């Protein structure tokens, strides 16, 4: 579970900003919002980020995604560059390092991971854990001139000298130590725990145009997602869908056809062998069953359904994963293709039914702020563009009673610009006299 994430000098983020899931002292909606990974630790399930277009709210999610990719997809050569984008609207920051820090719980243990990176190298890296007291797992420094990595392990970590040398040899100057560990055949419980968290708990960004159909359908086919959850969600959201069925079609192919495929199309050898042995192509089509007037059953393909139905089918799959697993989904432009009532329904279903998962989402849907009975102030965040063009990130909980009273309308305050994070629009007249 995510506790805090901080980033500095990344895309529109110049100065350090921190997104925190540590709950405030308020017991408002405690039963629905709070997770306790450890006694005395109260974390939020939800973080909603509001802000004007180009204010940088998506870049907070992109920074988290960048860190995940840097760890799980290490480059292979010393000459490869790191795909990091510093803040460009300054004379200094393009040549300065990007700094990231993340704090999370894995298997009941809290980890703190710090990283400093530029386009050429991982400059420094440090992992600490609390088991139960704070202790060093490893500290890494890079000799920039020699392009070499040096790793120091903490006193509580058991690793023999040979394995340490193997890890150093595999941790190129442009790899993280965790990425280097992925290339080795050595054992480390602490490093593996952290890798597992980034790989299995923290998911990649879901963008507004992300095609989740294949992702959800494949997990549905492999029983990783329960069809009953998706159907329940679709029914409660008032879609007239009674079942989801898979139409399987098989077509016999000749040996000449398989030879043609192998010559003209890039195909994995294993799949080509399977095709030659089975001599058939199997296609699957997802169909939605509708019952009309309580009598006839009719089937529509996914493509024939509305954009809203398609998106809610995909979100129904995500909801099943959030309810039945311990995962974190970052979602950009949460309201894309969804009616506000469906968005509210999804959020409430998540808050009521999930036990260990977290959701981070950017949104423009300010109408949600009218629903004081379904959100906590510490779960609402805002991004705002500062005078120098950089991004500021702050929480609704940061405002004192002079701005937001307990009985105040957050929606009206946000709409009126009292909370910032809204577009600064002037009049509607355009100067079209270009002469």
Please write the tens of the pLDDT for every residue from 232-290. 988 877 778 999 998 877 777 666 665 655 555 545 566 556 666 777 776 778 999 99
Exposure of 377 by Cβ count < 10 A (0-12 exposed, 13-18 middle, 19+ buried)?
middle
pLDDT level of residue 294 (50, 70, 90 thresholds): confident
Q: How far is CA 21 from CA 42, 101, 233, 279, in A?
A: 9, 14, 27, 54
- For residue 209, the model assigns a pLDDT of 85
| Radius of gyration from C-alpha coordinates of the chain | 25
- For residue 401, the model assigns a pLDDT of 52
Orientation angle between helical segments 227-236 and 213-221, nearest 10 degrees: 130
- For residue 428, the model assigns a pLDDT of 41
3-class state of residue 363 by DSSP? strand
Residue 224 has pLDDT above 80, yes or no: yes
Mean pLDDT of 320-342: 92
Task: Return contacts of 323-327, CB within 8 angstroms, 24+ apart.
Answer: 323/229, 323/350, 323/353, 323/354, 323/355, 323/357, 324/226, 324/229, 325/356, 325/357, 326/1, 326/201, 326/356, 326/357, 327/200, 327/201, 327/202, 327/203, 327/357, 327/358
Q: Lowest-pLDDT range, 8-12, 132-136, 186-190, 206-210?
A: 206-210
Structure tokens given for 279: 């001599």
3-class state of residue 174 by DSSP? coil
- For residue 165, the model assigns a pLDDT of 97
> What's the sign of the alpha-carbon dihedral 300, 349, 374, 384?
negative
Residue 429 has pLDDT above 50, yes or no: no
Residue 373 has pLDDT above 90, yes or no: no
pLDDT level of residue 331 (50, 70, 90 thresholds): very high
> Higher model confidence: residue 134 or residue 423?
134
pLDDT, the chain, mean: 88
pLDDT, tens digit, 9 for 90 and up, residues 205-220: 999 888 899 899 999 9
Structure tokens given for 178: 């965790």
Q: Lowest-pLDDT range, 186-195, 326-335, 420-429?
A: 420-429
Residues of the chain with pLDDT > 70: what percent?
85
Residue spans per domain, the chain: 1-203+327-424, 213-326
d(CA 52, CA 424): 9
Q: Lowest-pLDDT range, 7-16, 131-140, 239-248?
A: 239-248
pTM for this prediction: 0.87
Please say whether the beta carbons of 311 and 337 come within 8 A.
Answer: yes
- For residue 212, the model assigns a pLDDT of 92
For 1-203+327-424, the fitting CATH number among 3.40.50.2300, 3.40.50.10420, 3.40.50.300, 3.40.50.150 is: 3.40.50.300
> Higher model confidence: residue 257 or residue 14?
14
Residues of the chain with pLDDT > 90: what percent?
66
pLDDT level of residue 419 (50, 70, 90 thresholds): low
Residue 411 has pLDDT above 80, yes or no: no
Q: In what helix (H) or strand (E) does residue 276 lie, and over which residues does it extend?
A: helix 269-278
Mean pLDDT of 40-63: 95
């Amino acid at each position: 579970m995510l506790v805090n994430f901080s980033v500095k000098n990344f895309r529109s983020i110049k100065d350090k900003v921190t997104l925190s899931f540590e709950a405030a002292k308020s017991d408002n909606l405690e039963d629905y919002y709070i997770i306790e990974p450890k006694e005395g630790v109260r974390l939020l399930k939800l973080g909603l980020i509001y802000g004007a277009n180009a204010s940088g709210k998506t870049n907070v999610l992109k920074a988290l995604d960048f860190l995940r990719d840097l760890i799980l997809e290490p480059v292979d050569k010393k000459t490869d560059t790191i795909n990091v984008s510093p803040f460009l609207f300054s004379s200094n920051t393009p040549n300065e390092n990007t700094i990231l820090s993340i704090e999370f719980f894995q298997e009941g243990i809290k980890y703190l991971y710090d990283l400093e990176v530029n386009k050429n190298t991982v400059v420094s890296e440090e992992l600490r854990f609390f088991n139960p007291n704070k202790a060093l797992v490893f500290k890494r420094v890079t000799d920039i001139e020699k392009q070499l990595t040096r790793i120091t392990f903490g006193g509580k970590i058991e690793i023999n000298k040979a394995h340490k040398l193997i890890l150093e040899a595999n941790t190129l100057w442009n790899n993280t130590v965790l990425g280097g560990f992925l290339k080795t055949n050595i054992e480390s419980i602490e490093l593996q725990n952290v890798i597992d968290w980034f790989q299995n708990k923290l998911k990649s960004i879901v963008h507004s145009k992300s095609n989740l159909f294949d992702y959800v359908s494949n997990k549905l086919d492999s029983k990783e997602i329960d069809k009953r959850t998706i159907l329940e969600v679709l029914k409660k959201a008032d879609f007239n869908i009674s079942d989801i069925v898979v139409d399987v079609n098989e077509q016999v192919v000749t040996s000449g056809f398989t030879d043609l495929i192998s010559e003209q199309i890039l195909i994995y050898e294993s799949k080509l062998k399977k095709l030659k042995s089975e001599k058939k192509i199997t296609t699957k089509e997802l169909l939605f069953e509708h019952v009309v007037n309580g009598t006839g059953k009719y089937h529509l393909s996914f493509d024939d359904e509305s954009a809203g139905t398609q998106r809610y089918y995909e979100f129904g799959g995500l909801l099943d994963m959030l309810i039945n697993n311990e995962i974190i989904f970052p979602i950009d432009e949460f309201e894309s293709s969804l009616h506000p009532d469906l968005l509210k329904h999804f959020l409430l279903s998540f808050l009521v039914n999930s036990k260990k998962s977290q959701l981070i989402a950017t949104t423009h849907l300010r109408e949600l702020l009218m629903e004081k009975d379904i959100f906590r102030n510490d779960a609402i965040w805002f991004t705002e563009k500062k005078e120098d063009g950089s991004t500021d990130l702050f929480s609704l909980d940061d405002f004192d009673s002079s701005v937001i009273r307990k009985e105040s309308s957050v929606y009206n305050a946000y709409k009126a610009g009292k909370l910032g994070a809204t577009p600064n629009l002037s009049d509607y007249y355009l100067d079209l006299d270009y002469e």
